[in-house]
Amino acid sequence: MVKVLISKPGLDGHDRGAKVVARAFEEAGAEVVYTGLQATPEEIAETAVREKVDVVGVSLLSGAHNTLMPRVIDCVKEKEGMQDTVFILGGIIPQQDIPALLEKGVHGVFGPGTPLDAVTDFAFEQVALVKAEQLAEAALADMTNKSSNI
């Protein structure tokens, strides 16, 4: 089962979208953990590790995304075993900020008006891709090991 962390970093208290997305993931069959408001990037990373989540969803409407989103990504990726985490960002994110956010490691950015299925389907696909890559890498490593044993 895919496990998703929905988080609200920073001081923004508008969490209608975060809650709706959390519920959508649950309805779509994922297990969901919600941080509540004002989660620091460190707290988000700790929860992500503790709960062993596949996806970290961040909701930001306050305009602080350029500061906070990269911090969340760095904090999570620093943790052992979290390098392949899928990051999705939702909220009011101006078009011109999106390329830089993708560059920094966000997999997908979803603005207002996005149907819920589009968010959950995207996240599930990304998780499947990550898992396929991990399997391929493991298989490759396995083969390399075997060949070196010969």
Partner 1 sequence: MAEERKHTTLSGYELKNVYTAEDLNGEHMKDKLGEPGHYPFTRGIRENMYRDSLWTMGLYSGFASAEEANERFRYLIEQGQTGFSVALDLPTQMGYDSDDAMSDGEVGKVGVAIDSLADVEALFKGIPFEKVRQIRTTANANSIIMLAFYVAFAKKNKIDPNTIGFFLQNDILKEYMCRGAYIFPPAAGVKLSVDVLEYCGKHLPKWTPIAVSGYHIREAGATAAQEIAFTVADMTAYFDAAVARGVDIVSATSNSYFFLGAQMDFLEEVAKFRAARRVFAKIMKERYGVTDEEPQRLKIFAYTNGSAMTAEQPMNNIIRVTIETMAAIAGGIQTLATSSYDEALSLPTQEAVTISLRTQQIVGYESGITETVDPLGGSYAIEALTNRIEKDIWSLLAEIEAKGGAVKCIEEGFQQKLLAANAYKYQKSVDDGARTVVGVNRFKDEQPIECAAFSVSEEVAVKQKAKLAKLKKKRDNDRVQRALNAIKTAAEKNENLGEYMIEAAEAYATLGEICGVLKSVYGKYSPMKIY
For 62, residues 6+ apart whose C-beta sits below 8 A from its C-beta are: 10, 11, 12
Among 3, 46, 49, 64, the residue binding partner 1 under the rule CB under 8 A is 64
Question: Does 50 contact partner 1 by CB under 8 A?
Answer: no
For residue 52, give both structure tokens. 């062993």
User: Which of 23, 77, 79, 104 touches partner 1 by CB under 8 A?
Assistant: 23
Alpha helices per DSSP H over the chain: 16-27, 41-50, 65-78, 98-103, 116-149
Q: Which of 4, 78, 68 is nearest to 34 (CA)?
A: 4
Return the DSSP state at 39: B
101 binds partner 1 (CB under 8 A): no
Q: Which is nearer to partner 1, 3 or 23 (CB)?
A: 23
- Residues between 124 and 143 that touch partner 1 (CB under 8 A): none
HSE (CB half, 13 Å, CA atoms) of 21? 33
Q: Check residue 18 for interaction with partner 1 (CB under 8 A).
A: yes
30 binds partner 1 (CB under 8 A): no
Q: Applying CB under 8 A, does 43 fall inside the site for partner 1? A: no
Q: How far does the chain reach from its first CA to its final CA, in angstroms?
A: 38
For residue 38, the minimal CB distance to partner 1 (Å) is 6
Binding site for partner 1 (CB under 8 A): 6, 10-16, 18-20, 22-24, 32, 34-38, 62-64, 66-68, 92, 94-96, 111-113, 115-117
